[in-house]
């Protein structure tokens, strides 16, 4: 199944997280309730990401950016 691509604004920080992961050759998607709430015009409380990067890989990437 192909992902549905939408241009929804989740803020600069969320976009930067996906940009960083993709720059390191990982997939990154914003998923879950944040997408639903954005489509319904509700206030966002948190944003969930789906990625194929492991927690250790994410930690390694974040350490290099500090």
Domain limits, the chain? 12-57
Question: What value, to the nearest 5°, has the Cα angle with vertex 3 and ends 11 and 56?
Answer: 65
Q: Which of 6-10, 36-40, 50-54 has the lowest mean pLDDT?
A: 6-10
pLDDT computed for residue 29 by the predictor: 94
- Split at pLDDT 50, 70, 90, the class of 55 is very high
Q: Which two structure tokens, joined as six digits, stand for 29?
A: 């998607």
Distances (CA, A) of 42 to 4, 23, 30, 35: 20, 30, 16, 10
CB-based contact 28:22 (threshold 8 Å): yes
pTM beyond 0.85, yes or no: no
Cα 55 vs. chain centroid, distance in angstroms? 14
């Amino acid at each position: 199944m192909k992902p549905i691509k939408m241009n929804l604004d989740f803020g600069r920080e969320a976009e930067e997280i996906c940009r960083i992961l993709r720059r390191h050759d990982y997939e990154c998607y914003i998923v879950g309730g944040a997408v639903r709430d954005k489509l319904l015009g509700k206030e966002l409380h948190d944003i969930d990401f789906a990625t194929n990067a492991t927690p250790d890989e994410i930690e390694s990437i974040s350490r290099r950016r500090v």
